[in-house]
Structures are given as structure tokens and as C-alpha cells.
Amino acid sequence: MFLLFLLFSFSTLLFLRLLYILPSTHPTPAPSRSFPSRPKHLMILLGSGGHTAEMLLLLRTLRHPALYRRSYIYTHGDALSAAKGVAFETSLAGCGAEKAAHCVYSIPRARRVKQSWLSTPLDAVKCFLGCISLFWKTGIPDVVVTNGPGSAVLLIGVVLGLRFLGIAHTRMVYVESFARVTRLSLTGKLLYHVVDRFVVQWEGLKKRYRRAEYRGVLVL
């Protein structure tokens, strides 16, 4: 009986801790516009297809880029996204922007296009372990930004684990793809309740998902 009580108490504490680290079900208030007192570590997940193009368009709206140390993350086999990240940093320097440290890292892909669901769990585990190793290399970021690649689920999962353990206070931002007009992507559905800020680019999505933030089209 005592063992059951301990098990119940432990489970309750874990559940309460999980509730504590998860964001509110209501829209997150707009952040203050004060500048950080030290450079912030911004981790950006790039993805194949249009994800990288949209992400780099988002980053062009970043004010005072020198205030952010940027880590670009791409998945194995997606060298094009890595090259675009480097080209983006080169273009910032060419425009006379203040220089900030930036690095490019790769992680295993969570799932390949048209991959069998039977073999997906093994690749997902590899991706999860790769994300843990990534934080060991880069340090824990202040902010993680993603916009839809499937590997985002594993990356955000690691952040949640670190927050659960009290190791990290990383903010998680998800920006739904411009291509999603009436419904969320699978990645968006999985992350909707766990990220700190969930941004959509179509007003119709805001009406359907009350936690979402709508700030107009961000990638044009």
C-alpha cells in the first residue's frame, strides 16, 4: 500500500512539473522591445523544400542581428539548406550589417520523404540523440525557431526535456508555413500545445486556433 502511495505521489509530481513547464493555453503576450543586455543564442532549424527559404526570409526581419549568436541546424543529406544559411550570413555582411558569430551544424533526419512508418522510429531515435549531442556542442540556446520540418518535433522534445529537468529556460517559437492556409501541418499540430509562441500567417488559422498569433504574412 505504501509503495502504491509513493508511486502515485511521484506520478503526481511529474504531472504537475509537466504542467508547469508547458505554456499557457491562451495567446502569449507580445514581448517587450527592450534590447538584450548580452548577445542571445538563437538556434534556427532549416528544412528541405521551402522551409529554408521561408526561414531565411523571416530572419531578414531580425533587428540588430549582431545581438544574436546564430546556430543554423540542418539535417543530414540537406547540404543545400546549409549552403543557403552560409549565403544568408554572407549577404548580411555584404549589406554592412553588424557581424555576429554564427555556426552551422547537422543532425540526423527524423524521417525521409516516403519512408516507411515501420522504419521511422529508429531514425527518430537517432535524431533525438543527435539533438542532445547538438546542445552539448553549441550550448543551450536562448531561443529555438522552427517552421515545419519533421525534425523540429525531436528538437523541441529535447528542449522540453531540459526544461523539465530545470537545466534550460529556452524559449520555443514555431512559425507555420505560408503554404498552410486552412489547416496546420502535422508538425504544427504536434507542437501547437508545447511551444511558447505559435505564429500563423493566415487570419483564418488564427480564428481556428486560439493560441496562435497572427501578424500578417511574414515571408513576402
Residue 63 pLDDT grade (very low, low, confident, very high; cuts 50, 70, 90): confident
What does the pLDDT average to over 171-190? 94
What does the pLDDT average to over 66-72? 86
pLDDT at 60: 86
pLDDT at 23: 76
Other CB atoms within 10 Å distance of the CB of residue 81: 26
pTM for the model: 0.85
Q: Note the helical H segments in 76-150.
A: 79-94, 120-138
pLDDT at 32: 55
Q: Could you report the per-residue pLDDT of 111-168, keeping only the tens digit for each?
A: 776 777 777 888 899 999 999 999 999 999 999 999 988 899 999 999 999 999 999 8
pLDDT at 120: 81
Domain boundaries, the chain: 38-214
Mean pLDDT of the chain: 84
Closest Cα to residue 173, out of 158, 152, 202, 189?
152
Tell me: domain 38-214, CATH 1.10.8.60, correct?
A: no
Residue 28 pLDDT grade (very low, low, confident, very high; cuts 50, 70, 90): low
pLDDT at 204: 92
C-alpha cell at 47: 528544412
pLDDT at 89: 87
Residues 6+ apart with CB under 8 A from 46: 52, 55, 72, 73, 74, 78, 81, 82, 84, 85, 149
DSSP 6: H
Closest Cα to residue 136, out of 71, 75, 76?
71
